[in-house]
């Protein structure tokens, strides 16, 4: 029989797992708060609300373009693949390359027009 403390820890761990599993769904199903007017015809999944352009973005870049990529990658991966921290480091580059390979794009880790289009067509 489990002690009270072990039972509480087990319950808290299970609850945390459920919350983490549900978090990406909630985050990606919400309507962006600062969406530009042109997103009226887009689905809720092709725009996370950080950036709506298609400027080339690559390792070493940072800011809202990178947050948008990380958010879209997380939606595509079905979970918390990346921290949405706005830093295009080696993990983001690896996930971009994995995405590019899966969609038959040039695998270079750089998000250009084709990769932006594929990310937003999810």
CATH of the domain at 96: 1.10.101.10
Domain extent, residue 24, equals 1-30
Tell how far CA 94 is from the center of its chain: 13
> Does residue 32 contact residue 72 with C-beta atoms inside 8 Å?
no
In a domain, 38, yes or no: no
The reply to whether 15 and 75 lie within a common domain is no
Question: For the chain, how many structural domains are there in total?
Answer: 2
Which of these ranges, 7-21, 22-36, 61-75, 108-122, has the smallest mean pLDDT?
22-36
Task: Sort 46 into a burial class: Cβ within 10 Å, 0-12 / 13-18 / 19+.
Answer: middle
Residue 11 belongs to some domain of the structure: yes
Same domain, 26 and 65: no
- Alpha-carbon torsion (15, 20, 25, 27), positive or negative: positive
Q: Confirm whether 37 is domain-assigned.
A: no
Q: Is the pLDDT of residue 105 over 80?
A: yes
What pLDDT is recorded for position 79?
Answer: 87
pLDDT higher than 50, residue 72? yes
């Amino acid at each position: 029989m489990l002690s009270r403390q072990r039972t509480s820890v087990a319950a808290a761990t299970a609850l945390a797992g459920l919350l983490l599993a549900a978090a990406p769904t909630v985050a990606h199903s919400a309507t962006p708060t600062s969406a530009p007017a042109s997103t009226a015809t887009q689905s809720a999944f092709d725009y996370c609300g950080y950036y709506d352009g298609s400027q080339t973005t690559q390792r070493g870049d940072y800011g809202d373009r990178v947050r948008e990529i990380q958010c879209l990658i997380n939606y595509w991966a079905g979970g918390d693949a990346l921290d949405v921290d706005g830093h295009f480091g080696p993990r983001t580059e690896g996930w971009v390359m994995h995405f590019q390979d899966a969609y038959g794009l040039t695998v270079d880790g750089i998000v250009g027009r084709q990769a932006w289009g594929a990310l937003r067509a999810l």
